Amino acid sequence: MEPDNARITPEYVTSLEPGSIFVFGSNRRGRHWGGAAHMANKKFGAEWGVGVGPTGQAYAIPTMDGDIEAIRSAVDDFIKYAGEHPELFFYVTPIGCGIAGWRPEEIAPLFEKATTLENVSLPASFWEILK
């Protein structure tokens, strides 16, 4: 499975076109203090206190408050949402692989179903694992 370059999330997303969504790892309380969550809050309209789902040009997937099965459930919800919104384009960051302490080898497989969605880009590190 080889993605085209348009489906590889840039290492740093600093701006978004209309209709684009920044997908980041969060905590359920929506305290966007650091990492991609801070960027989502400051640049892309992720609301303080909202730790799951869409707000502004952002989509929060909680990675700090549970086990891998809790993350899997949230990723499945995201994939369903992305599939229901083909008019939007989603830039998935390496969720959970920073402050939350998960490894790409643990998180990338959760996004396997997203590889069939033309409106979802994934980090290069996730694509490497999903090949």
pTM for the structure as a whole? 0.95
Distance, C-alpha 25 to centroid of its chain: 6
Domain residue limits, the chain: 14-130
Q: How many other C-beta atoms are found inside a 10 Å radius of the C-beta of residue 87?
A: 7
Q: Model confidence over 56-108: pLDDT tens digits?
A: 999 999 999 889 999 999 999 999 999 999 999 999 999 999 989 999 999 99
Superfamily of domain 14-130: Leucine Aminopeptidase, subunit E, domain 1 (3.40.220.10)
pLDDT tens digit string along 116-126?
Answer: 999 999 999 99
Q: Which residue has the tokens 């402050």?
A: 99
Closest of 39, 6, 32, 35 to residue 97, by C-alpha? 35
CA-to-CA distance for 71 and 77, rounded, in angstroms?
10
